[in-house]
């Protein structure tokens, strides 16, 4: 049985006693040996924002800063066992879902999310930046049909939104149409990320049940690995601390924008985020 949340008395990382348990967020996704994306980036983001991170690994990737070489899924039974072990022992305040590997794993994660009933961020990682696919057709369908309706927010980039909705996205109107289609498919809130688009500003579209907002930031010339992971994890960290959804999205966008400017080249490919001292999402 999941521990009671009654003893958890906090609203932000700065508003609690040092003796209180911290907010706890669970990251479900693949391992990235560069530390720039995946589970490693999730956990570092949580820690940076004052949240304790748990993790369930779905795949062990082989990659470097130049790209993914192989994915190596963890067996579905092991994924299920990891989730069960945490769920019966720890109070989880938010969940961030990244790389899933099969329709069976999608169903296992969906069952866990339904049982937990906590804010959940679904970042639908469909392929690597160098084109290595993570999901087959059946898994993509399961992601939309079985997991998307149980997530509090889904955060596709332009490519992922296009694949999910079977439509070309070439304009801001297309982004709105794609977000509407995902809402109609069962998503409660959608953040269509425009970081891979054109223009001087990177514009993301948030669409919820009652509000829509464009979030803009100067487009960076840097090629940074793991921006989607960090953004989704920052949203989950903010939700774990009790922030409303749109507030969490705004703060995560601001945080990710700042972190992009801190990224440095560690190898011959994309730059990697550098996490320093703990800070508040503003």
pLDDT tens for each residue of 230-271: 999 999 999 999 999 999 999 999 999 999 988 999 999 999
Give domain status of residue 121, yes or no: yes
The total number of structural domains in the chain stands at: 1
Between 138-142, 167-171, 218-222, 242-246, the lowest mean confidence (pLDDT) is in 218-222
Higher pLDDT: 197 or 72? It is 72
Asked if pLDDT for residue 84 goes beyond 80, the answer is yes
Give domain status of residue 9, yes or no: no
Name the band, by pLDDT with cuts 50, 70 and 90, for residue 18: low
Mean pLDDT of the chain: 88
Name the band, by pLDDT with cuts 50, 70 and 90, for residue 6: very low
Give domain status of residue 19, yes or no: no
Give domain status of residue 17, yes or no: no
Selection from 272, 224, 276 nearest residue 36 by Cα: 272
Give domain status of residue 104, yes or no: yes
Higher pLDDT: 169 or 278? It is 169
Name the band, by pLDDT with cuts 50, 70 and 90, for residue 199: low
Packing angle, helices 38-48 and 227-240, rounded to 10:
40
- Residue 121 backbone dihedrals phi, psi, to 5 degrees: -105, 120
Selection from 157, 156, 257, 154 nearest residue 208 by Cα: 154
**Structure confidence at residue 15 (pLDDT):** 54
What residues make up the domain containing 64? 24-272
What's the pTM?
Answer: 0.90
Find the mean pLDDT for residues 129-141: 77
DSSP, res 188: S
Give domain status of residue 234, yes or no: yes
Find the mean pLDDT for residues 198-203: 77
Between 1-15, 105-119, 213-227, 260-274, the lowest mean confidence (pLDDT) is in 1-15
Asked if pLDDT for residue 282 goes beyond 80, the answer is no
Helix, strand or coil, per DSSP, at residue 98 = coil
**Structure confidence at residue 2 (pLDDT):** 42
Give domain status of residue 61, yes or no: yes
> What is the spatial distance between Cα 282 and Cα 250, in angstroms, rounded to a whole number?
8
Q: Decide if 134 contacts 99 (C-beta within 8 A).
A: yes
Find the mean pLDDT for residues 193-216: 85
Size of the chain, expressed as the number of residues it contains: 282
Give domain status of residue 280, yes or no: no
Residue 266 belongs to a domain with what CATH number? 3.40.1190.20
């Amino acid at each position: 049985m999941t521990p009671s949340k009654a003893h958890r008395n906090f609203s932000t990382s700065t508003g609690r006693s040092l003796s209180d348990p911290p907010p706890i967020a669970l990251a479900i996704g693949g391992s990235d040996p560069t530390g720039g994306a995946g589970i490693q980036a999730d956990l570092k983001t949580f820690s940076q924002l004052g949240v304790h991170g748990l993790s369930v690994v779905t795949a062990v990737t082989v990659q470097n800063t130049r790209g993914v070489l192989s994915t190596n899924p963890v067996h579905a039974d092991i994924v299920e066992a990891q989730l069960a072990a945490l769920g019966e022992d720890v109070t989880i305040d938010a969940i961030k879902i990244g790389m899933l590997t099969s329709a069976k794993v999608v169903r296992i994660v969906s069952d866990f999310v339904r049982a937990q009933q906590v804010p959940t961020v679904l970042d639908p990682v469909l392929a690597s930046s160098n084109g290595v696919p993570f999901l087959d057709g059946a898994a993509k369908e399961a992601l939309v049909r079985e997991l998307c309706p149980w997530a509090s927010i889904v955060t596709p980039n332009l490519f992922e939104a296009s694949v999910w909705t079977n439509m070309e996205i070439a304009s801001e109107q297309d982004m709105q149409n794609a977000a509407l289609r995902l809402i109609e498919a069962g998503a409660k809130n959608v953040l269509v990320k425009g970081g891979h688009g054109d223009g001087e500003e990177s514009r993301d579209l948030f669409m919820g049940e009652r509000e829509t907002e464009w979030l803009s930031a100067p487009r960076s010339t840097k090629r940074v690995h793991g921006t989607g992971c960090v953004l989704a994890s920052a949203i989950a960290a903010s939700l774990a601390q009790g922030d409303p959804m749109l507030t969490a999205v705004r703060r995560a966008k601001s945080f990710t924008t700042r972190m992009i400017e801190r990224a440095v080249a560690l190898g011959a490919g994309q730059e990697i985020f550098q996490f320093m001292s703990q800070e508040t999402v503003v």
